[in-house]
Amino acid sequence: MTGTTESMILEMNSGNETAIEESFRQPTFAAVIFITIGVVGTIGNALVCIVIASTLAWSKSGTTNLLILNQAFIDSMTSFILILSYALPGPAIPKAGGWSEFVCRMWVPHTLLWMLFVVSTYNLCMMSLERYFAVAYPVIYSTRFKKQTSLLMILFCWTIAPLLHYYYPIAYDYNAGGVCKKRGDPRVVATIGVLIFCWEFFIPFIIMAVVYTRIVFLLRRQHRRVQASNANPGPSELRSGQHGIQAPSQLNIQVPREQNVSSRPEGASGHHQGNSPQQRRRAPSETVRRNVTVTLLAVFIMYVVCWMPNHLTFLQFGLGGPLNLSGAWYYITLILAYLNMSINPFIYALKYKLFREGFKRLFCNRCYSTQPERRNFTEHSSVPPRPIPTVSGSNRGLINAE
């Protein structure tokens, strides 16, 4: 929406090179900042693409990682186009032909750049919905949420999400003998601007805010249940403590793997089944789920911080409010919006354990091999799980530490 509004005052004549340069000229400090953000975003997101793509071969979180991979790919493309937009001089516009139409309809008004921003926004929305099903309905998620579901979400983001932005290259921007012009009723343009705000920011924001609020509530409730269970030891543990009997974990008893507790019928061990410390502690899969969710929640928070000023500013401008397109506030909103592309790789590096594990496997194999405990990282790894003896009897088997 910003690029579209900015382009409303832009008109170029291919026969006047000075006019072309003036139309494309940005303050030096702004151009340097934009290009720097683009370089960092391109390199950082390309690295994320490489690492996440490498994890698909051994990770069990393919559905989540496909969406994260798509997000990094979108942001890397957007960052690269951002570099080209502000580093290259204004192109000469032929009087006719397909290239002149592309320049006037897609490049000059930055329509291509802003369509990619919309795709990125809706991909974030899809990731929030995927996380909600993983947390709220883990059984359904593990059995029915396949990679094909993620691919359908990605297809939606690339085709339907930027739907309203199709208006500008089709019916608004055009080439008139080497001059980029615009046409249309101002009231229609203003209406499209408000609809773009609702479709490209307000609706995704509401969806993600409600979904993540619900997810946080569910995670807190699960945490309280674990704490309550830890505070109330089971009868078998009380008897063991009273008679001085050692638990099998202390006796180092090994039981055939085929008797894994996860394969036994629910309730087969009576009321003792849910009371062992290993079962009362947070399951590894729950730890992974929580880590991924917290990571994507941080991504959502940064999205809101970076994009809300820009969208609200241009909403009021579209409704007739004032806006100085050469003022400090305008450039601050642009810098924040562009910054969102390059900040996600740092969030993954700081918060996402799978990304760190994949990075070590890919670029620091020696460091990774000297830390065998890393190989037991939760459900993501395809390395055979490390058995943990239970404490409520040898007939209970071993618990997978996946």
Tens digit of each residue's pLDDT, the chain (402 residues): 444 334 333 333 333 333 333 344 566 888 899 999 999 999 999 999 999 988 887 776 678 889 999 999 999 999 999 999 888 877 778 788 888 888 888 888 888 898 999 999 999 999 999 999 988 888 888 888 888 899 999 999 999 888 877 877 877 787 887 788 877 777 877 888 888 899 989 999 999 999 999 998 988 888 788 778 777 755 555 454 454 444 444 444 444 443 443 444 433 444 444 444 444 444 556 677 788 888 889 999 999 999 999 999 988 887 878 888 888 899 999 999 999 999 999 998 888 888 888 888 888 765 555 554 444 444 444 444 444 443 333 333 333 333
Parallel, antiparallel, or unpaired for β 386-389 and 173-175?
Answer: unpaired
Name the burial class of residue 368, with classes exposed (0-12), middle (13-18) and buried (19+) by CB atoms within 10 angstroms of its CB: middle
pTM of the model: 0.72
How far apart CA 386 and CA 391 sit, in angstroms, is: 16
Residues 6+ positions from 143 with CB-CB distance below 8 Å: none
The tokens describing 161, both together, are 């999400």
Q: Is 217 helix (H, G, I), strand (E, B) or coil?
A: helix
Asked if residue 260 lies in contact with residue 400, where contact means CB atoms within 8 angstroms, the answer is yes
3-state secondary structure the chain: CHHHHHHCCCCCECCCHHHHHHHHCCCHHHHHHHHHHHHHHHHHHHHHHHHHHHHCCCCCCHHHHHHHHHHHHHHHHHHHHHHHHHHCCCCCCCCCCHHHHHHHHHHCCCHHHHHHHHHHHHHHHHHHHHHHHHHHCHHHHHHHCCHHHHHHHHHHHHHCCCHHHHHHHHHHEEECCCEEEECCCHHHHHHHHHHHHHHHHHHHHHHHHHHHHHHHHHHHHHHHHHHHHHHCCCHHHHHHHHHCCCCHHHHCCCCCHHHCHHHCCCCCCHHHHHHCHHHHCCCHHHHHHHHHHHHHHHHHHHHHHHHHHHHHHHHHHHCCCCCCCCCHHHHHHHHHHHHHHHHHHHHHHHHCHHHHHHHHHHHCHHHHHCCHHHHHCHHHCCCCCEEEECCCCHHHCEEEEC
How far apart CA 226 and CA 154 sit, in angstroms, is: 35
Query: Within a 10 A sphere around the Cβ of 272, how many other Cβ atoms?
Result: 15
Q: What is the CA radius of gyration of the chain?
A: 27
How far apart CA 267 and CA 281 sit, in angstroms, is: 18
Instruction: Please state which of the four CATH numbers 1.10.1040.10, 1.20.1070.10, 3.30.300.30, 2.70.150.10 is assigned to the domain occupying 2-222+282-380.
Output: 1.20.1070.10
Closest CA to 30 of 289, 336, 316, 363: 336
The pairs formed by 132-137 with CB atoms below 8 angstroms and a separation of 24 or more are 132/211, 132/214, 132/215, 134/64, 134/289, 134/292, 134/293, 135/215, 135/218, 135/219, 135/289, 135/293, 136/214, 136/215, 136/218
